[in-house]
Structure 1
Amino acid sequence: MLRLAHRGLHRTAPENTLAAFALSLTAGFTGIETDVRLSADGEAVLYHDRNAPNGIAVATLSRSELSHLSGYIVPTLSEALDAFPDAYWNIEIKTPSVLPNCLAILKNHIHQQQLLVSSFHHEVALHVEKELHIDCGFLIAHRPAQLNELILSAMPHRHLRTLIWDYEVLDLDLLNQSFAQGFNNYVYGAQTEQEHLICHEFPLQGIITDHPEFVGLTSAPVRQ
């Protein structure tokens, strides 16, 4: 099972920062999951929340302003990919507005790095696959009534063969069905050791986690 650090290893460094990414690779993670948003000055910044700590929307702030409000330098997608060329990257595109920027950046890294682009905006994942022909996936936070309703749009796109499930909606039957139809299954959101053990029993190809100690990796010290 591929083990990805959720926003980097952020116990001793802010999430989605170069320091958190470096710590995750040192701890033994193969890959890194990160989030991309568009800042007001047109930068593809790595930031999960849609609002800064003071409640102002990230989309209305420049990268410099966002960094000041967050208390650390918010990195860009280009900086992270350049800094860790050997890592496997799961890049979650948070909003369609940052898609053009991501396409321009990813074009420069297609032949240099292992990339998986995902989004809750499934049309965004479809567009990336169509334009760049790189691995893409659908993020899923609900249990579909029928799997075919979910994956029908992905079938014509041969590089869109990954489903990334919220742990809350994991369903063994759906996992087996999707795997039988050629899809890889990843999971995010497992919190306890028991939940991680359950994930290892399921037909999953990847886990996105905050807990290296539950996936057999060395844990970094907990922030005091």
Structure 2
Amino acid sequence: MRRMEALPPWPYPLWIAHRGAGKLAPENTLAAFRVGLALGYQMAECDVTLSGDGVPFLLHDARLERTTNGFGLARLQPWSAMAQLNAGRWHGTEFATEPLPTLAALAGLARETGLMLNLELKPGPEDDARCGRIAATEAQRLWASIETPPPLLSSFSIEALAAARDHAPALPRALLLERVSDGWRDAARELGAVAVVIEHRAVDAEVVLQALESGLRVLCYTVNGEAEARRLEDAGVDGLITDAIDRLGPQALP
């Protein structure tokens, strides 16, 4: 019989709004987090990267063009320039004045609303260790005075998570995976991770059991269908990251 030690209580909710509000508002903006909160979401996932001068802010892509009116690699530009960019007009006129938010601005919203966060460390090219070190250190400082569970730091980058472990050890970490392959549990344990965040189609009850045997929780991305959400809940996952925040989640599914 397979035996497992009891894991400590998991402080985060099952449902997590992807990039703040799925696709209902411009991703990774404060407006997006407010939309998710209005729909009953207590937790959101977002992407944290660095400006050229080391300011942690929210952006998914390495480049600015897709979601702002800026151009080029974010990691090569000073925050003073990027603070002037618009990050919402592409999504609709109602978001025409939405800026790129700093991690500090997001912490302010968390303090005000109680929103919990999964912060994905998203290094620019060849910037993994710097991103992990600075973003994690700043997150640890900002959330020290916030009365919610600390942000869960996740990344596909082993180097970024290792830097986060070394410089902000108090913050929980999760290894992001596209698939389950040899050595995934060893990699997560080496990072001192408390969880893995896996592409939903790669997860079943056996994967969840293997994770639990290694002291790891399982979260899944990006879960946008009701049948798939129920399958994963039945398999025992602890977190479902979704774009479909108006169709799934805490107010839509029992």
Category of TM-score, reference length = shorter chain: 0.7 to 0.9
C-alpha distance in 1 between matches for 2:25 and 2:188: 36
Query: Aligned pair count?
Result: 215
Q: Distance in 1 between matches of 2:78 and 2:56?
A: 11
Supply the AA of the counterpart residue of 1:93.
L
Match of 1:61 in 2: 77
Shift of 1:188: 0.6
In structure 1, the residue matched to 2:174 is: 137
Cross-structure match for 1:76: 102
Report Cα offsets for 1:139-182 as digits up to 9, x if no partner: 001221x3xx1222443665x21000011322332221111222
| Higher strand fraction (1 or 2) | 1
Corresponding residue for 2:120?
92
The DSSP-based 3-state class of the residue aligned with 2:20 is: coil
Identity %: 23
Report what 1:15 is aligned to. Answer: 27
TM-score by structure 1 length?
Answer: 0.84
Matched ranges for 1:33-48 at <5 A: 33-48=45-60
Letter in 2 for 1:50: A
Gaps of 5+ in 1: 220-224
- Once the two structures are overlaid, the 10-residue window that deviates more, 33-42 or 190-199, is 190-199
1:151 equivalent in structure 2: 185
1:201 pairs with 2:217: no
- With over 3 angstroms needed to count, the CA separation of the structure-2 counterparts of 1:153 and 1:192, relative to structure 1, is closer
Give 1:140's aligned amino acid: L
Distance in 1 (alpha carbons) for counterparts of 2:200 and 2:249: 15
Alpha-carbon distance in 2 for matches of 1:34, 1:179: 25
2:243 aligned residue: 210
Pick from 137, 153, 157 the counterpart of residue 117 of structure 1: 153
- Aligned equivalents of 1:80 and 1:121: distance in 2? 22
Tell whether 2:16 aligns with 1:4: yes
Q: Taking structure 2 as the reference length, what is the TM-score of the superposition?
A: 0.75
Q: Deviations over 1:106-163 (max 9, x none)?
A: 232135242100110123223323432221110001221x3xx1222443665x2100
Provide the secondary structure at the position in 2 that maps to 1:49.
coil
Which segments of structure 1 move beyond 6 Å, counting only runs of 4 or more? Answer: none
Which consecutive residues of structure 2, in runs of 5 or more, have no partner in the other structure? 1-12, 90-97
Deviations 1:20-49 (A, max 9, x none): 111111211121111011123432110111
Quick check: 2:82–2:100 contact (8 Å CA) kept in 1?
Answer: no
Q: Distance in 1 between matches of 2:17 and 2:208?
A: 22
Query: What is the DSSP-based 3-state SS (H/G/I as helix, E as strand, rest coil) of the residue aligned with 1:4?
Result: strand
